[in-house]
Chain A
Amino acid sequence: MRYIEPHGHMVSRTTNDYQDMATAGCVAVCEPAFWAGFDRSSARGFYDYFRQLTDFEPKRAAKFGLQHYTWLCINPKESEDLTLADEVLAIIPEFLSAPTVLGIGEIGLNKNSRNEIKVLEKHVDLAAKHEQLILVHTPHLEDKLKGTRLIVDVIKNDKRIKPERVIIDHVEEHTVKLVLDEGLWAGMTLYPESKCTPARAIDILEMYGTERIWMNSACDWGVSIPLAVPRTALEMRKRGHAEDWIDKVIYQNPVQFMSQSRRFQIKA
Protein backbone atom coordinates (compact mmCIF):
# COMPACT_ATOMS: atom_id res chain seq x y z
CA MET A 1 0.00 0.00 0.00
CA ARG A 2 1.14 3.52 -0.81
CA TYR A 3 -0.48 6.67 0.48
CA ILE A 4 -0.06 10.41 0.95
CA GLU A 5 -0.79 12.08 4.28
CA PRO A 6 -2.15 15.35 2.88
CA HIS A 7 -2.76 17.02 6.24
CA GLY A 8 -0.57 16.26 9.25
CA HIS A 9 0.76 18.65 11.89
CA MET A 10 4.04 16.88 12.29
CA VAL A 11 5.65 19.58 14.43
CA SER A 12 3.40 18.16 17.18
CA ARG A 13 4.39 14.56 16.58
CA THR A 14 7.38 12.47 17.52
CA THR A 15 9.98 11.06 15.18
CA ASN A 16 8.48 7.62 15.89
CA ASP A 17 5.33 8.77 14.10
CA TYR A 18 7.33 9.53 10.96
CA GLN A 19 8.83 6.06 11.23
CA ASP A 20 5.43 4.41 11.64
CA MET A 21 3.94 6.36 8.73
CA ALA A 22 6.84 5.44 6.44
CA THR A 23 6.52 1.80 7.51
CA ALA A 24 2.80 1.87 6.67
CA GLY A 25 3.48 3.09 3.12
CA CYS A 26 3.37 6.86 3.45
CA VAL A 27 5.26 8.53 0.61
CA ALA A 28 4.78 12.19 1.45
CA VAL A 29 3.31 14.23 4.26
CA CYS A 30 1.88 17.72 3.79
CA GLU A 31 1.73 20.07 6.76
CA PRO A 32 -0.52 23.13 6.88
CA ALA A 33 0.29 25.88 9.34
CA PHE A 34 -2.05 25.78 12.33
CA TRP A 35 -2.74 26.91 15.88
CA ALA A 36 -0.13 25.77 18.40
CA GLY A 37 -2.68 25.30 21.18
CA PHE A 38 -1.84 28.77 22.50
CA ASP A 39 -1.73 32.21 20.89
CA ARG A 40 1.72 33.31 19.72
CA SER A 41 2.80 36.57 21.28
CA SER A 42 4.07 38.20 18.08
CA ALA A 43 4.72 37.77 14.38
CA ARG A 44 8.25 36.65 15.25
CA GLY A 45 6.72 33.51 16.70
CA PHE A 46 5.20 32.79 13.31
CA TYR A 47 8.49 33.58 11.57
CA ASP A 48 10.21 30.87 13.57
CA TYR A 49 7.29 28.49 13.00
CA PHE A 50 7.55 29.04 9.23
CA ARG A 51 11.30 28.32 9.44
CA GLN A 52 10.49 25.10 11.24
CA LEU A 53 7.93 24.14 8.56
CA THR A 54 10.12 24.99 5.57
CA ASP A 55 13.55 23.94 6.81
CA PHE A 56 13.67 21.71 9.88
CA GLU A 57 10.63 19.48 9.34
CA PRO A 58 11.52 18.41 5.76
CA LYS A 59 14.91 17.25 7.05
CA ARG A 60 13.34 15.33 9.93
CA ALA A 61 10.94 13.58 7.54
CA ALA A 62 13.68 12.83 5.01
CA LYS A 63 15.50 10.68 7.58
CA PHE A 64 12.70 8.14 7.06
CA GLY A 65 12.45 8.55 3.30
CA LEU A 66 9.38 10.76 3.60
CA GLN A 67 8.90 13.86 1.49
CA HIS A 68 7.55 16.80 3.47
CA TYR A 69 5.59 19.71 2.01
CA THR A 70 3.93 22.63 3.74
CA TRP A 71 1.30 25.38 3.59
CA LEU A 72 1.60 28.78 5.27
CA CYS A 73 -0.83 31.15 6.97
CA ILE A 74 -2.04 32.53 10.26
CA ASN A 75 -4.66 30.12 11.57
CA PRO A 76 -8.25 31.39 11.96
CA LYS A 77 -8.01 30.80 15.72
CA GLU A 78 -5.52 33.70 15.82
CA SER A 79 -7.34 35.87 13.29
CA GLU A 80 -9.37 37.93 15.72
CA ASP A 81 -6.35 40.21 16.23
CA LEU A 82 -6.21 42.07 12.90
CA THR A 83 -2.91 43.80 13.65
CA LEU A 84 -1.16 40.52 14.36
CA ALA A 85 -2.77 38.96 11.29
CA ASP A 86 -1.50 41.77 9.05
CA GLU A 87 2.01 41.40 10.47
CA VAL A 88 2.00 37.66 9.81
CA LEU A 89 0.54 38.09 6.32
CA ALA A 90 3.41 40.46 5.58
CA ILE A 91 6.09 37.86 6.32
CA ILE A 92 4.50 34.96 4.41
CA PRO A 93 5.73 36.04 0.92
CA GLU A 94 9.33 35.69 2.09
CA PHE A 95 8.70 31.96 2.55
CA LEU A 96 6.64 31.30 -0.58
CA SER A 97 9.77 30.67 -2.64
CA ALA A 98 10.87 27.81 -0.38
CA PRO A 99 11.02 24.58 -2.42
CA THR A 100 8.48 22.70 -0.29
CA VAL A 101 5.72 25.32 0.02
CA LEU A 102 2.55 24.26 -1.81
CA GLY A 103 0.30 27.17 -0.99
CA ILE A 104 -1.70 29.12 1.58
CA GLY A 105 -3.28 27.11 4.38
CA GLU A 106 -4.92 26.07 6.51
CA ILE A 107 -6.87 29.29 6.33
CA GLY A 108 -10.59 29.49 6.98
CA LEU A 109 -12.88 30.22 9.90
CA ASN A 110 -13.17 29.07 13.50
CA LYS A 111 -16.05 30.91 15.19
CA ASN A 112 -17.32 32.61 12.01
CA SER A 113 -16.57 36.14 13.20
CA ARG A 114 -16.28 39.26 11.07
CA ASN A 115 -12.56 39.60 11.72
CA GLU A 116 -11.96 35.96 10.82
CA ILE A 117 -13.67 36.62 7.49
CA LYS A 118 -11.53 39.72 6.86
CA VAL A 119 -8.35 37.70 7.45
CA LEU A 120 -9.65 34.87 5.26
CA GLU A 121 -10.24 37.34 2.43
CA LYS A 122 -6.70 38.69 2.83
CA HIS A 123 -5.26 35.18 2.63
CA VAL A 124 -7.28 34.45 -0.51
CA ASP A 125 -5.96 37.70 -2.00
CA LEU A 126 -2.41 36.66 -1.11
CA ALA A 127 -2.92 33.27 -2.76
CA ALA A 128 -4.30 34.92 -5.89
CA LYS A 129 -1.44 37.41 -6.14
CA HIS A 130 1.18 34.68 -5.76
CA GLU A 131 -0.70 31.99 -7.74
CA GLN A 132 -0.77 29.62 -4.77
CA LEU A 133 -3.01 26.64 -4.04
CA ILE A 134 -5.39 27.07 -1.11
CA LEU A 135 -6.16 24.68 1.75
CA VAL A 136 -9.12 25.69 3.91
CA HIS A 137 -10.00 24.64 7.46
CA THR A 138 -13.72 24.56 8.25
CA PRO A 139 -14.96 25.21 11.79
CA HIS A 140 -15.67 22.61 14.40
CA LEU A 141 -18.95 21.01 15.45
CA GLU A 142 -21.93 23.39 15.57
CA ASP A 143 -20.02 26.08 13.67
CA LYS A 144 -19.09 23.94 10.65
CA LEU A 145 -22.21 24.28 8.50
CA LYS A 146 -22.42 28.06 8.72
CA GLY A 147 -18.65 28.45 8.41
CA THR A 148 -18.46 26.26 5.33
CA ARG A 149 -21.18 28.34 3.67
CA LEU A 150 -19.38 31.58 4.51
CA ILE A 151 -16.04 30.19 3.27
CA VAL A 152 -17.50 29.00 -0.02
CA ASP A 153 -18.97 32.48 -0.53
CA VAL A 154 -15.57 34.13 0.05
CA ILE A 155 -13.88 31.78 -2.42
CA LYS A 156 -16.59 32.25 -5.05
CA ASN A 157 -16.52 36.02 -4.66
CA ASP A 158 -12.83 36.21 -5.65
CA LYS A 159 -13.01 35.58 -9.39
CA ARG A 160 -9.23 35.09 -9.64
CA ILE A 161 -9.51 31.83 -7.72
CA LYS A 162 -10.16 28.63 -9.68
CA PRO A 163 -12.24 26.24 -7.57
CA GLU A 164 -10.21 23.22 -8.63
CA ARG A 165 -7.18 24.83 -6.93
CA VAL A 166 -8.92 24.98 -3.54
CA ILE A 167 -9.52 22.18 -1.05
CA ILE A 168 -12.07 22.63 1.71
CA ASP A 169 -11.05 20.36 4.55
CA HIS A 170 -12.87 18.63 7.41
CA VAL A 171 -16.10 18.07 5.46
CA GLU A 172 -18.79 15.86 6.96
CA GLU A 173 -22.14 14.54 5.76
CA HIS A 174 -23.82 17.94 6.02
CA THR A 175 -21.14 19.93 4.16
CA VAL A 176 -19.57 17.63 1.57
CA LYS A 177 -22.20 18.21 -1.13
CA LEU A 178 -22.14 21.98 -0.94
CA VAL A 179 -18.33 21.87 -1.40
CA LEU A 180 -18.26 19.39 -4.28
CA ASP A 181 -21.16 21.07 -6.07
CA GLU A 182 -19.06 24.26 -6.34
CA GLY A 183 -16.25 22.43 -8.13
CA LEU A 184 -14.01 22.63 -5.07
CA TRP A 185 -12.01 19.72 -3.65
CA ALA A 186 -13.14 18.20 -0.33
CA GLY A 187 -11.00 16.77 2.47
CA MET A 188 -12.25 14.38 5.15
CA THR A 189 -10.44 14.28 8.48
CA LEU A 190 -10.33 11.00 10.36
CA TYR A 191 -10.60 11.67 14.07
CA PRO A 192 -11.66 9.30 16.84
CA GLU A 193 -14.06 11.75 18.52
CA SER A 194 -14.98 14.50 16.08
CA LYS A 195 -15.06 15.07 12.33
CA CYS A 196 -15.21 11.70 10.50
CA THR A 197 -14.67 8.17 11.71
CA PRO A 198 -13.22 5.78 9.12
CA ALA A 199 -16.63 4.13 8.66
CA ARG A 200 -18.38 7.45 8.02
CA ALA A 201 -15.65 8.64 5.66
CA ILE A 202 -16.07 5.51 3.57
CA ASP A 203 -19.86 6.00 3.65
CA ILE A 204 -19.32 9.49 2.22
CA LEU A 205 -17.11 8.11 -0.54
CA GLU A 206 -19.72 5.49 -1.39
CA MET A 207 -22.47 8.12 -1.50
CA TYR A 208 -20.65 10.98 -3.25
CA GLY A 209 -17.96 9.19 -5.27
CA THR A 210 -14.19 9.44 -5.33
CA GLU A 211 -13.67 12.51 -7.53
CA ARG A 212 -12.07 15.63 -5.99
CA ILE A 213 -11.89 14.18 -2.48
CA TRP A 214 -9.16 12.97 -0.13
CA MET A 215 -8.79 11.86 3.46
CA ASN A 216 -6.27 12.82 6.11
CA SER A 217 -5.40 12.21 9.74
CA ALA A 218 -4.80 15.90 10.61
CA CYS A 219 -2.70 14.44 13.40
CA ASP A 220 -1.63 17.14 15.84
CA TRP A 221 -1.21 17.72 19.58
CA GLY A 222 -4.81 16.66 20.29
CA VAL A 223 -6.64 13.34 20.13
CA SER A 224 -5.66 12.07 16.68
CA ILE A 225 -4.11 9.06 14.98
CA PRO A 226 -1.16 9.51 12.58
CA LEU A 227 -1.97 6.16 10.93
CA ALA A 228 -5.66 6.98 10.42
CA VAL A 229 -5.38 6.94 6.60
CA PRO A 230 -3.85 3.45 6.23
CA ARG A 231 -6.20 2.11 8.92
CA THR A 232 -9.14 3.47 6.92
CA ALA A 233 -7.71 1.80 3.83
CA LEU A 234 -7.86 -1.49 5.74
CA GLU A 235 -11.52 -0.83 6.49
CA MET A 236 -12.14 -0.15 2.79
CA ARG A 237 -10.72 -3.59 2.06
CA LYS A 238 -13.03 -5.12 4.66
CA ARG A 239 -15.94 -3.61 2.73
CA GLY A 240 -14.64 -5.21 -0.43
CA HIS A 241 -13.41 -2.13 -2.25
CA ALA A 242 -10.87 -2.76 -5.01
CA GLU A 243 -7.22 -1.79 -4.62
CA ASP A 244 -7.52 0.77 -7.46
CA TRP A 245 -10.47 2.44 -5.70
CA ILE A 246 -8.49 2.67 -2.46
CA ASP A 247 -5.34 3.87 -4.21
CA LYS A 248 -7.27 6.65 -5.95
CA VAL A 249 -8.53 8.05 -2.66
CA ILE A 250 -5.38 7.74 -0.56
CA TYR A 251 -2.71 8.35 -3.21
CA GLN A 252 -3.83 9.40 -6.68
CA ASN A 253 -6.24 12.13 -5.58
CA PRO A 254 -3.78 13.94 -3.28
CA VAL A 255 -1.17 13.69 -6.03
CA GLN A 256 -3.64 15.09 -8.59
CA PHE A 257 -4.57 18.07 -6.44
CA MET A 258 -1.12 18.97 -5.15
CA SER A 259 0.58 18.46 -8.51
CA GLN A 260 -1.12 21.71 -9.52
CA SER A 261 1.86 23.17 -7.68
CA ARG A 262 5.01 22.58 -9.70
CA ARG A 263 6.84 22.04 -6.42
CA PHE A 264 5.00 18.82 -5.65
CA GLN A 265 7.14 16.09 -7.21
CA ILE A 266 6.81 12.55 -5.96
CA LYS A 267 10.16 10.80 -6.13
CA ALA A 268 10.00 7.33 -7.64
Chain B
Amino acid sequence: MTRQQVLDLYFMDARCKLIDLAAFMDRVERASGEEDFRMAEFRKAMRELEGKKNRAERVLLALSDPTPEPIAAATTKAACGAYPGPAAIGK
Protein backbone atom coordinates (compact mmCIF):
# COMPACT_ATOMS: atom_id res chain seq x y z
CA MET B 1 0.00 0.00 0.00
CA THR B 2 1.10 3.58 -0.54
CA ARG B 3 1.24 5.98 2.40
CA GLN B 4 -1.74 7.78 0.91
CA GLN B 5 -3.73 4.54 0.89
CA VAL B 6 -2.76 3.78 4.49
CA LEU B 7 -3.88 7.25 5.53
CA ASP B 8 -7.14 6.90 3.63
CA LEU B 9 -7.84 3.58 5.32
CA TYR B 10 -6.67 4.24 8.89
CA PHE B 11 -6.39 7.97 9.61
CA MET B 12 -9.91 8.45 10.98
CA ASP B 13 -9.56 5.38 13.21
CA ALA B 14 -6.18 6.58 14.53
CA ARG B 15 -7.56 10.10 15.06
CA CYS B 16 -10.42 8.67 17.11
CA LYS B 17 -8.00 6.64 19.25
CA LEU B 18 -5.72 9.64 19.73
CA ILE B 19 -8.58 11.76 21.05
CA ASP B 20 -9.72 8.88 23.28
CA LEU B 21 -6.21 8.67 24.67
CA ALA B 22 -6.13 12.41 25.36
CA ALA B 23 -9.55 12.27 27.01
CA PHE B 24 -8.43 9.36 29.20
CA MET B 25 -5.42 11.33 30.43
CA ASP B 26 -7.64 14.37 31.14
CA ARG B 27 -10.08 12.11 33.00
CA VAL B 28 -7.34 10.72 35.22
CA GLU B 29 -6.08 14.25 35.91
CA ARG B 30 -9.56 15.54 36.83
CA ALA B 31 -10.22 12.68 39.22
CA SER B 32 -9.34 12.84 42.90
CA GLY B 33 -6.79 10.74 44.78
CA GLU B 34 -3.38 9.37 43.85
CA GLU B 35 -2.34 7.61 40.66
CA ASP B 36 -0.83 4.17 40.90
CA PHE B 37 2.19 2.80 39.06
CA ARG B 38 0.17 2.11 35.92
CA MET B 39 -0.06 5.76 34.93
CA ALA B 40 3.67 6.29 35.33
CA GLU B 41 4.33 3.24 33.16
CA PHE B 42 1.75 4.49 30.67
CA ARG B 43 3.55 7.84 30.34
CA LYS B 44 6.86 6.03 29.98
CA ALA B 45 5.42 3.87 27.20
CA MET B 46 4.01 6.95 25.45
CA ARG B 47 7.51 8.30 25.00
CA GLU B 48 8.13 5.39 22.62
CA LEU B 49 5.73 7.02 20.14
CA GLU B 50 8.30 9.71 19.49
CA GLY B 51 10.85 7.23 18.16
CA LYS B 52 11.05 5.81 14.67
CA LYS B 53 10.03 2.30 13.55
CA ASN B 54 8.74 -0.58 15.67
CA ARG B 55 6.75 1.72 17.94
CA ALA B 56 4.16 -0.94 18.75
CA GLU B 57 6.88 -3.38 19.77
CA ARG B 58 8.65 -0.77 21.89
CA VAL B 59 5.42 0.24 23.66
CA LEU B 60 4.76 -3.42 24.47
CA LEU B 61 8.31 -3.84 25.75
CA ALA B 62 7.95 -0.72 27.92
CA LEU B 63 4.88 -2.25 29.57
CA SER B 64 6.44 -5.71 30.07
CA ASP B 65 8.01 -7.42 33.06
CA PRO B 66 11.71 -7.23 32.10
CA THR B 67 12.94 -9.80 34.65
CA PRO B 68 13.99 -13.31 33.57
CA GLU B 69 13.25 -15.42 36.67
CA PRO B 70 9.96 -17.20 37.49
CA ILE B 71 8.04 -15.80 40.46
CA ALA B 72 7.78 -17.88 43.62
CA ALA B 73 4.03 -18.43 43.39
CA ALA B 74 1.03 -17.03 41.55
CA THR B 75 -1.11 -15.13 44.02
CA THR B 76 -3.53 -13.79 41.42
CA LYS B 77 -4.67 -14.90 37.99
CA ALA B 78 -5.05 -11.45 36.45
CA ALA B 79 -2.59 -9.19 34.68
CA CYS B 80 -2.87 -5.42 35.09
CA GLY B 81 -1.26 -4.19 31.88
CA ALA B 82 1.95 -2.69 33.29
CA TYR B 83 4.87 -4.01 35.31
CA PRO B 84 4.45 -3.04 38.98
CA GLY B 85 8.04 -3.80 40.01
CA PRO B 86 9.60 -6.78 41.80
CA ALA B 87 8.16 -6.06 45.25
CA ALA B 88 4.61 -6.20 43.97
CA ILE B 89 4.91 -9.63 42.35
CA GLY B 90 6.60 -11.46 45.19
CA LYS B 91 10.07 -12.11 43.84
Chain A positions within 8 Å of B, measured between CB atoms, are 35, 77, 80, 110-117, 139-146, 149-150, 172-174, 199-200, 203, 238-240
Contact = CB atoms under 8 A, between A and B. Distances in A.
A135 to B, nearest CB: 20
Interface in B61-76: 61, 63-68, 70-76
Q: What secondary structure prevails in chain B residues at the interface with A?
A: loop
Contacts of B70: 112-114, 116-117, 150
A116 B71 CA distance: 10
B74 to A, nearest CB: 4
B81 interface: yes
B78 to A, nearest CB: 8
- Which of A111, A140, A150, A203 gathers the greatest number of chain B CB atoms within 10 Å? A111
Contact of B71 (A113, A144, A239): A113
Contacts of B5: 240
B91 to A, nearest CB: 11
Nearest to A200: B56
B60 A172 contact: yes
A78 B26 CA distance: 39
Contacts of B76: 111
Name the prevailing secondary structure of the A interface residues.
helix
28 contacts: A35-B77, A111-B71, A112-B65, A112-B71, A113-B70, A113-B72, A113-B73, A114-B71, A115-B73, A116-B70, A116-B74, A139-B79, A140-B79, A141-B81, A141-B82, A143-B64, A143-B65, A146-B65, A146-B67, A150-B70, A172-B60, A173-B56, A174-B57, A174-B60, A174-B64, A200-B56, A203-B56, A238-B9
A166 B56 CA distance: 26
Which among A149, A173, A200 has the highest number of chain B CB atoms within 10 Å? A173
Of the listed residues A114, A139, A142, the one surrounded by the most CB atoms of chain B closer than 10 A to its CB is: A142
A142 B65 contact: yes
B73 to A, nearest CB: 5
B71 A141 contact: no
A14 B83 CA distance: 36
B1 interface: yes
Interface in B21-41: none
A173 B54 contact: yes
B37 to A, nearest CB: 11
Nearest to A37: B77
Given A80-B73, A173-B60, A149 B65 contact: no
Given A142-B79, A145-B65, A173-B57, 20 more contacts: A110-B74, A110-B77, A111-B71, A111-B74, A111-B76, A113-B73, A113-B74, A114-B70, A117-B70, A141-B79, A142-B65, A142-B82, A143-B65, A149-B68, A150-B70, A174-B61, A199-B10, A200-B56, A239-B1, A240-B1
Contacts of A77: 77
B19 interface: no
B5 to A, nearest CB: 8
B12 interface: no
B77 to A, nearest CB: 5
